[in-house]
Amino acid sequence: MLEAADVSRRTSRRPATPPTWLVVALACAGQFLVVLDVSVVNVALPSMRSDLGLSGPGLQWVVNAYAIAFAGFMLLGGRAGDLYGRKRMFLVGLGLFTLASLGGGLAGDGWQLLLARAVQGLGAAVLAPSTLTLLTAAVPEGAARARAIATWTAVGAGGGAAGGLVGGVLVDVLSWRWVLLINVPVGAVVLAGSALWLAESRAGDRRRLDLPGALLVTAGLAILAYGIVQTEARGWTAAATLLPLAAGLALIGCFLLVEARTAAPLMPLGLLRLRSVASANAAMFVSGSAMFCMWYFMTLYAQNVLGYSPLEAGLALVPSSLSVVVGSKVAPRLMRSAGARTVAALGTLVAAAGFAWQSTMTAHGAYVTGIMIPGMLMMLGAGLAGTPLAALATSGAAPGEAGLVSGLINTSRTMGGSLGLAVMSTVAAAGTGSGHGPGALTDGYALAFRTSAALLLGGALLMLVWLPRRTPARSAGRGNGPGGPWTPPDV
């Protein structure tokens, strides 16, 4: 009887399964913080430059130091969640992200800010895959999961879109430092709630993490991005450009060799044989490389050309913020009738139309036709395309690889975005030429938007040709996974 009472007391102390809405809310809060920090610094860049004496390329690295660490370590973060617990990695990533935000907000020199941004990116890489895997583990596959993923996509996209407004308010009312310091109280609240209410889950065995693979891919991406940035000042044929480009490609090649030979790879290359996984990630990479630069150039255009204050620049992008949320929420309804492939391609074409419109910008553009309407089209398309691509990428893999495929889709988007920003900055510099006035800057920004529009048209064609028509059912295993034989995806 005493043993029974003791068992009863131990059982009563176990946390009850949290409500689904609470898991979704906490996962979305983590995703919001991660994506917000990609864009929130954009309106603060001029203030950072004057306060810390950063150069033009240095400003790009305020964005790219975060994005490259985020992309490079996200596969490692996803696999760590599968092996050691999604809740545990969520808490570790959020804690690291919050502490790095404090360090960045207190930075007294440019290198300190860049270091803090890189550590933020590392924390985000551990945190972000767990946000999606916690959500998909809590919500059964079907219409309910599509709605939950749409909410996750909308919140993430809204975080990126709201960055301009949040950053503008903080810079105008307080200082640029608060675009980072604001994460500290918010992160602490989400950390406490997650520790109390999230339930632990994991999949897979206790294999060692592939740290060499993570270091190779991160170093390769960083050096490759550095080489692309060098083209702005040195050109494409200079040794200072060609050497880092070659070194970056060589490191990425070494990463692929390591992944093919190691017993527990960071990214099992066989996973890319799944059509839904390979095609959705390729499409997300192309889309990210074109769309990521939108907030960067729009805020620079509003402040450097049209003379907006940081707050005015943030307010100018509010309609775009709302559009990306609307697109994300409408996408699941369209997916039920038209299919994931059609909705993804349609969203990409809408975004391409917005980028093409924005490329007609002038040095004396009106707000409605020069920022608001093209911005709404760009972000409506981004919202429409993001949900079906995320659903396709995460639906065909085995449960033990949920964290991996979640990390992979985030990696593809962020990797494409960081490299795309480096390329588009070089394109904008080429369009600007030797001029520094509003007209010259406008010509450079317009060329970057025109190049992005062409890239998105290619992405839409890729989606129509390669994406499967329907969202494939999640497999229970792939020959060696739990739960039975693998079901091939619907093509």
SS3 for 184-217 is HHHHHHHHHHHHHHCCCCCCCCCCCCCHHHHHHH
The per-residue pLDDT for 478 is 39
Question: Which positions ≥6 away from 10 have C-beta within 8 Å?
Answer: none
Length of the chain: 491
Report DSSP state, residue 15.
P
In contact, 404 and 478? CB cutoff 8 Å: no
Q: Residue 355, exposed/middle/buried by CB under 10 A (0-12, 13-18, 19+)?
A: buried
Q: How far is CA 284 from CA 48, 212, 290, 417, 467, in A?
A: 31, 25, 10, 10, 11
Nearest to 24 by CA among 132, 154, 161: 132
The per-residue pLDDT for 73 is 80
The per-residue pLDDT for 16 is 57
| Cα 74 to Cα 93: distance, rounded to the nearest angstrom | 11
Ramachandran angles phi, psi of 467, nearest 5°:
-65, 145
| Cα 369 to Cα 211: distance, rounded to the nearest angstrom | 49
CA-angle at 87, arms to 81 and 89, nearest 5°? 45
Greatest Cα pair distance, the chain, in angstroms, is 87
The per-residue pLDDT for 483 is 28
The per-residue pLDDT for 205 is 55
- Residues of the chain under the 50 pLDDT cut: 1-14, 475-491
| Cα 223 to Cα 290: distance, rounded to the nearest angstrom | 20
Cα dihedral 141, 146, 149, 154, rounded to 10, equals -170
| Cα 39 to Cα 161: distance, rounded to the nearest angstrom | 7
The per-residue pLDDT for 407 is 66
| Cα 22 to Cα 194: distance, rounded to the nearest angstrom | 9
Element (DSSP H or E) covering residue 47: helix 45-52
Q: What is the pTM of this model?
A: 0.75
| Cα 175 to Cα 47: distance, rounded to the nearest angstrom | 8
Nearest to 60 by CA among 448, 469, 454: 448
The per-residue pLDDT for 360 is 95
The tokens describing 146, both together, are: 């599509």
Q: How far is CA 262 from CA 59, 163, 208, 258, 276, in A?
A: 38, 40, 11, 6, 24
